[in-house]
Chains A and B, each alone.
Chain A
Amino acid sequence: MSALEIKNLKKTYRNKLDALKGINLNVQQGDFFALLGPNGAGKSTTIGIICGLVNKTSGSIKVFGHDLDTATNAAKACIGIVPQEINFSQFETCLGIVLNQGGYYGIKRSIAMERAEKYLGKLGLWERRNEYSRNLSGGMKRRLMIARALIHEPKMLILDEPTAGVDVELRRSMWDFLIDINQQGITIVLTTHYLEEAESLCKNIAIIDKGDIIEDTSMKNLLSKLNKETFVFDLVDPIESLPELNGYQGRLKDPSTIEVEIERKNNINDLFNIFSKHGINVCSMRNKSNRLEELFLDLLNNNKTH
């Protein structure tokens, strides 16, 4: 079943900017879906329309089969939203914010309290439930928005850059939390600027640029399109110059680091044989940049030329 079905969605702002030029998107139930794109590509506009915060120009959206125009409330009840910007009252307590959100979704106070304890607890905020939200750190505010979005136990959670400005440790713990709720059956749609995040978490991916979907496929398929990768080799002993690598494009970044471009058709073992032949010992290797990042930039560059 489709969790989210977007057909020919268009949005033109008053300044005549075509933010969305008729996008189509299909997210299956239980998916962990990434919607990626550069700044101003149309990600937040798409999410805003799905959540009822932005009026669309034309097109249709169905959430778990409920049309957003004709069965608005049924569709909204299926969605939990974690926006990019902090959007709760600074003068309310964490618990008050979560309970009120439960109230807006028609959840009885007693049930909302049980769920608030559950989700604030899982996100490490229960101890701070009676503090005013303005006193929380940036990461805590983001986690509070996740707890708030889950209070009505939605079938689909939409997160717009949930880990922006969050430290590495906290980001990892949020990833674990999202994986956990996805495994429990909640469909997740995620936008992020951290491509490593999308690659680690998401099963399917769409890339949006200038209001158009330029790629919509599985993460596995997309990564298989990567023709070449740049690997960085850290050497045990420094070398003065880089020997001939039998057709591989390489460069000596510093006496202890070699960067080599390897095409998908090549066998990486051959390169190690060449290193061994020249007495070069490698102590570690890594991708120069995130694989998805390379693809993402390629796709955007191709789109520029069209």
Chain B
Amino acid sequence: MYTQSLFIPFSTIVIKEVSRFTRIWVQTILPPAISMTLYFVIFGSLIGPRIGTMNGFDYIDYIAPGIIMMSVINNAYANVVSSFFGAKFQRHIEEMLVAPIPVFVILAGYITGGIVRGFLVGTVVTIVALFFTDLHLYSFPITIAVVLMTSIVFSLGGLINAIFAKKFDDISIIPTFVLTPLIYLGGVFYSIDMLPEFWQKVSVFNPILYMVNAFRYGMLGESDISITHAFIMLIIFTITLLIVCLQLLNKGIGIKT
């Protein structure tokens, strides 16, 4: 009974989510592969050799983890925000709301959908990166753990965006005006040691800095931030957003009248 009431609804949501984004792979999987290829061509192969090394690594090796993480962040977020808002807009979110599903199961289902897309796109971009450089792998468990936690954090972020969104414009505002600047200023293409002291201090308020650096540590064994500090921040972001999402779903904000 326990299995039926929790696992079957959970797996139904996950299967539905995964089949949704794989069905439209031309819109979900292919674009990050193409855009990340361009990043590797322009910043890695063309501009990279002129920059030389960064913190002891070839520039392309240094930016590869950040580029992979960028695609994970964007896709985990995009998956949940578009899917959940689509369900709200077409009102088929009601199919779940009328059913005896605890809200944490709905939440877990959507987050898992975001994680799967984050991992899948991250894997595709990693394969693309292998065409341009020999990737390092310093710690497999840290690499996987960072991707997992980052996917969770941005899936939760996407869900909050979708909960408050009232029109389609509202689901593109945050990625365009918040997420993209934070990613570019989160140390994907540079070390924050290169910044003036003031901007280094400002950068520590950017959550993406911790994710990119933790992932870079997993791949290269090198990071601007201590790995322990990065994981503590990731855990804080995850728990905070998890509580916010559960509260919003429990109260039915944005989804109930």
A-side interface residues toward B, CB under 8 Å?
A: 13, 45, 48, 51-55, 72-74, 76-77, 79, 81, 83, 85-91, 97, 100-101, 103-108, 148, 152
Contact = CB atoms under 8 A, between A and B. Distances in A.
A13 B257 CA distance: 8
A103 B9 contact: yes
Contacts of A89: 86-87, 90, 92
A107 to B, nearest CB: 7
Nearest to A51: B98
B257 A54 contact: yes
Nearest to B3: A106
A44 to B, nearest CB: 10
Contacts of A91: 20
Contact of B91 (A74, A76, A79, A87): A87
Nearest to B96: A104
A108 B11 CA distance: 11
Interface centre among B13, B87, B94 (most CB of A within 10 A): B94
Interface stretch (B99-107, B119-127, B180-188, B199-207): B99-107
Given A51-B98, A73-B100, A88-B92, A108 B257 contact: no
B98 A81 contact: yes
B31 interface: no
Contact of B257 (A55, A77, A85, A87): A55
Contact of B16 (A53, A90, A100): A100
Contacts of B13: 103-104
A55 B255 CA distance: 10
B14 to A, nearest CB: 10
A76 B11 CA distance: 20
Nearest to B9: A104
Of all A-B residue pairs in the complex, the 3 with the closest CB atoms, nearest first, are: A103-B12, A73-B100, A104-B99
Contacts, number: 82
A87 B99 contact: no
Contacts of A73: 5, 100-102
26 contacts: A13-B257, A52-B97, A54-B256, A55-B252, A55-B256, A72-B100, A73-B100, A79-B98, A83-B94, A85-B91, A87-B91, A87-B95, A97-B95, A101-B95, A103-B9, A103-B15, A104-B9, A104-B13, A104-B95, A104-B99, A104-B101, A105-B99, A106-B9, A107-B8, A108-B8, A152-B99
B8 A87 contact: no
A100 B95 contact: yes
Interface of B: 4-6, 8-9, 11-13, 15-16, 20, 86-87, 90-92, 94-102, 251-252, 256-257
Nearest to A76: B100
A182 to B, nearest CB: 21
B12 A100 contact: yes
A105 B90 contact: no
A91 B23 CA distance: 10
Interface centre among B4, B16, B95 (most CB of A within 10 A): B95
A79 B97 CA distance: 12
Given A89-B90, A103-B15, 16 more contacts: A48-B257, A52-B98, A53-B98, A55-B256, A72-B100, A73-B100, A73-B101, A87-B90, A88-B92, A89-B87, A104-B95, A106-B5, A106-B8, A106-B9, A107-B4, A148-B95
Interface centre among A72, A76, A104, A107 (most CB of B within 10 A): A104
A74 B100 CA distance: 7
A148 B96 CA distance: 12
A147 to B, nearest CB: 13
A53 B95 contact: no
Contacts of B9: 103-106
Contacts of A88: 90, 92, 95
Nearest to B93: A87
Contacts of B102: 73
A87 B95 CA distance: 8
Contacts of A90: 90
A85 B9 CA distance: 24
Contacts of B4: 106-108
Contacts of A86: 91
